Structure 1
Amino acid sequence: MEISPVEIPSYFLCPISLEIMRDPVILSTGMTYDRSSIERWIFSEKHQTCPATNQPITDPDLITPNHTLRRLIQAWCVTHASDGIERFPTPKPPINKSQIISLLEDAKKPHNTVISLRKLRGLILEGERNKRLVEECVEVMDYLVSLIKNYTLEDKINEGHLWSEEDVLESASSIATTTPCEEALNLLHSLKLSDKGLIRVLERNEGFMDILTAIMAKSNYQSRVYAVFLVKSLVQVMSPTRMILVRSELIQEIVRVVKDQVSSKAVKTALQVLCRLGPWGRNRVKVVEAGAVQLIIDMLLDERDKKACELMLFALEQLCRCAEGRSQFILHDAGIALVSKKIFRVSHNATESSVRILNLVAKYLATPVVLQEMVQLGVVAKLFMVLQMDCSTKAKEKAKEILSLHCRVWRASPCLSPQLKAYYPS
């Protein structure tokens, strides 16, 4: 809607979005809001009180359309059309479960599957209430998972092997139509399932993570993106026992998503998954064995995005907490220099992760060669700067610990300037 100099009546504005209401609805507290705003407030953000009055919302489902106000707003828009005010159409009524079941029945007809799934996706994108209704419909969730399972099984029978990277690239450019599996993945991603819904998927579908692993191994790039988004959501609600039992194949495919740089969002999501899984069982070792340490260092060399740098450094820190990770870090020629360079250049979080990585290396891999390299590359000088600059307390503590740990070696080094030696912590 274009900006207009016309003064908009205050009661036409949603108290949450402060924009003209397109679908005004009345809460049980008597206040009126735009449907999309209040549904997001209640169902997505999980608030239980009225945003304007702070009164408890006794029945979240009791949202009544304010037809009178909507007609007034539409009439006002028509009156001020010459001022650039656009009249919006009458909103569609919210869907009910019978409509969802009807679409589900249509989707079960082979020639209607993709079209019906797209219609269902269009409905859930209309509002949070629609999303919640679809998520609570167990029949729909089971059907979507079954489409993914069946498609995966058929591919295994037809192909008998996992696709190579060249196959994936060729597939991504040649597929002209969307498959039911891809639509199901897209729909599950669009639903943004609640924790309760995600747990239900895991409990009712043993081996679902293996299916997502297979999709990431042999599907086109779009399906891999949806699959890694789903993996992230599922991992967030997994019990410690489930995370300990995660297969190496899943971790390998997550690392491959990072390596292939499918999309910037997919890479960040994959890194978050690795960080989430890392602390449990032997998962850190599995991630290292998948080549993640060398890969992350290589990517950090050219990475300019702040959020991506923070995630990569945090992931690298997690991997350096195991002996295998530290060994791989040292083997990379640019490891120490790169991490030191990131101090002060990205963010406070990146600086803290970088100092922690150096701390782990200095504690457990402090060979004469490594210590000499840290002096020559200016790492020791950077650590002194950490003590003097505006860094977090934790970063300063870790920097001081490194300097104190190897004070005898570095104080005697001719590579360390007298000015720095004078600032050496006691």
Structure 2
Amino acid sequence: MMTPRASVFLYPWDVVGDPAAPRRIAELGVRQVTLAAAYHSTRAVTPRHPRHRIVTARHSAVLYPPDERRWAGRTLRPYPQDWVDAADPFGAAAEALAGAGLEVHSWVVLAHNSRLGAEHPDTSVVNAHGDRYPWAPCIGRPEVRDYLVRLAAEAATRPGARGCELESCGWYGLAHLHAHDKIAGVALDGAGQLLMSLCFCDRCRDGYAAYGADPEDLRAAVTAALLPYWDGVAAAPPAAAEAVEAAGAWARIVGLLGEGRAAAVLGWRRAAATRLQREAVAAVRSRAQDSAFRVLLHATPEPYACGANAGVDPAEVLTFADGLVLPCTGGPATRTAALEPCVPHRRPHTTLAANLTVVSGMGGTPATLAEDAAHAAELGADELRLYHGGLASAEDLARVAEALGALGA
């Protein structure tokens, strides 16, 4: 069994203004950094930075100067940042990291942008109740897809990047780390989350119709299926509900909506997501003009899924993407569910990267990283992604270095 190649996630603000950061990361034992080039709004701790401890990224932004010629005359365009004291934060960080012998790959967040939805409401997902999700651009809309593909090509191929990872390259929905969130009062299982994530904008209604569903009938069926959640009662007896959930959220969706409606939902959403993914990968490759430039997707092997890890069909997506970064934090069952469906469809140069959280305060388990990584490798992972080198405490990073040293040995 080969030792998986490891990469650690970083933000440019973890490096810019901290001359010690590149060497500190290199000494963990990683050979690669996945560096954010386009990212959503966040509030992040920087526990070792000599100038600050908290960085507030107030809105989704590109962490480099966007090419004005590329975006001239376009309504939808990327927002520049102003919270990192550098004209080109990605470029400055990439240069410093490369100077420490680290290979830099860009990290690009696509369909997750609250400011875009606030300033252009018509671009957002609209749920079955008519509520808009400003943080979730509807990828079924041609103008949104065009914007995301252009953004992917520009942000992924920054000078100094040797490859890229596209996050949120698919449907986004209800789930969102929102300021002062107040939606946990009603318990939504996987099926409930998905029902609340289905889009009913004009383009999606047309999409459902094209796949054989009456849009208004489908909307009514979704709102009816959600009623038991609002009432706080289970849609099925507890034992039955557990059995259905174990079979997967989609099995429950089929039961709630009926096979015909569910097939139309999956057909439209899968087609829209696959089109975005194909076009984004092709645009990045065209702009990179380097056959060695790898394009990976953050994904989960469930075509109906939405969120940062886009839902994909491994048999399809691995025919055009160079690989997948798969969520593997949470124990053996999580890693098995993420990796096993992908392995049969890998090509000779396909990358399957196990994404493991190494921040204890965010649910990570750096103390078991060596065991978790070894298990992922047994399942077919050939690379690791460690989330997140800038957010982790010194103790967490020490455990990461110890684990990577053991794996290397």
Say yes or no: TM over 0.5.
Answer: no
Greater strand content: 2
TM-score with structure 2 setting the length: 0.25
TM-score with structure 1 setting the length: 0.24
Greater helix content: 1
Larger relative contact order (Cα-Cα within 8 Å, sequence gap ≥ 6) = 2
